[in-house]
């Protein structure tokens, strides 16, 4: 059974720092991996989608990598800002559904 783990569970950084969020999954037979952002009381906003044949995707200050063979993905956030404070969720698609980790809650202080 696929399991997705995100480390750390929570992270606090000062504004301007570069940071990395980690995601690992137990079964490498995935179709894609998606990173989401969730603000308190809100739904999920899709940040990046990496297909199984891809190694990375970039959008603005965000860069996500995928190493399917080792079951790992990282989300790199450059020059963090207070507006980046949210919970970041990683999800893999191996069948019909997305399978999510529990998320990393990020707090960026000004």
Give the residues lining the site for other proteins (CB under 8 A): 4, 31-32, 34, 36, 41-46, 49, 51-52, 89, 91, 93, 95-103
Based on CB atoms, which residue is closest to other proteins, 98 or 108?
Answer: 98
- Closest approach of other proteins to the CB of residue 44, in Å: 4
- Nearest-angstrom CA–CA distance, 43 and 31: 23
- Closest approach of other proteins to the CB of residue 79, in Å: 26
- Nearest-angstrom CA–CA distance, 25 and 7: 12
Based on CB atoms, which residue is closest to other proteins, 19 or 44?
Answer: 44
8 preceded by cis ω (within 30°)?
Answer: yes
- Closest approach of other proteins to the CB of residue 38, in Å: 9
Residues 6 or more apart whose Cβ sits within 8 Å of residue 58: 48, 64
């Amino acid at each position: 059974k696929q399991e997705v783990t995100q480390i750390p569970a929570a992270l606090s950084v000062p504004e301007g720092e570069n940071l990395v969020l980690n995601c690992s999954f137990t079964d490498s037979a995935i179709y894609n991996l998606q990173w989401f952002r969730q603000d308190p009381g809100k739904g999920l906003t899709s940040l990046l989608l990496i297909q199984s044949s891809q190694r990375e995707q970039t959008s603005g200050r965000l860069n996500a990598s995928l190493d399917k063979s080792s079951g790992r993905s990282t989300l790199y956030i450059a020059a963090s800002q207070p507006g980046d404070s949210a919970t970041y969720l990683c999800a893999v698609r191996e069948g019909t559904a997305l399978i999510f980790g529990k998320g990393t809650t990020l707090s960026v202080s000004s």
